[in-house]
């Protein structure tokens, strides 16, 4: 299940990077689609790269970087939430009290 969640989250990230890259390409920020994708990936992951947007579009690259940080944080929260929920469910099964209660939330 964890593998499916990770793959699903990666797909969501790839779709978002692709949408940003398509926007850059359609607005003619870069000469070709591969350069748009490269810039989008480096901006989304906040790595930075050797490709820069033109003067009038630079702020948009920062917006994409902020979006990427928020989305990666969101993905981390989903993974931790799933793992913790699974962990507490297993703990409750192992330490089930005879009176029907449990000592964990």
Domains and CATH numbers, the chain: 9-90 (1.10.287)
Considering only the C-alpha atoms of the chain, give the largest distance between any 2 of them, rounded to a whole number of Å: 69
In this model, does residue 64 exceed pLDDT 90? yes
Residues of the chain with pLDDT > 90: what percent?
63
The 10s digit of each residue's pLDDT in 10-34 is 999 999 999 999 999 999 999 999 9
What's the pTM? 0.76
**3-class DSSP assignment, residue 98:** coil
Q: Which pLDDT does position 99 carry in this prediction? A: 58
Confidence of residue 35 (pLDDT cuts 50, 70, 90): very high
Q: Which pLDDT does position 1 carry in this prediction? A: 87
Q: What is the mean pLDDT of residues 42-53?
A: 88
In this model, does residue 105 exceed pLDDT 60? no
More confident residue, 30 or 95: 30
């Amino acid at each position: 299940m964890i593998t499916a969640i990770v793959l699903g989250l990666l797909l969501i990230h790839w779709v978002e990077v692709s949408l940003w890259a398509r926007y850059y390409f359609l607005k003619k920020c870069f000469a070709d689609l591969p350069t748009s994708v490269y810039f989008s990936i480096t901006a989304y992951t906040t790595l930075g790269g050797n490709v820069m947007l033109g003067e009038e579009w630079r702020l948009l690259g920062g917006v994409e970087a902020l979006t990427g940080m928020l989305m990666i944080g969101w993905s981390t929260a989903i993974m931790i939430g799933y793992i913790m929920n699974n962990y507490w469910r297993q703990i409750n099964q192992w330490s089930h009290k005879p009176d029907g209660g449990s000592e964990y939330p």
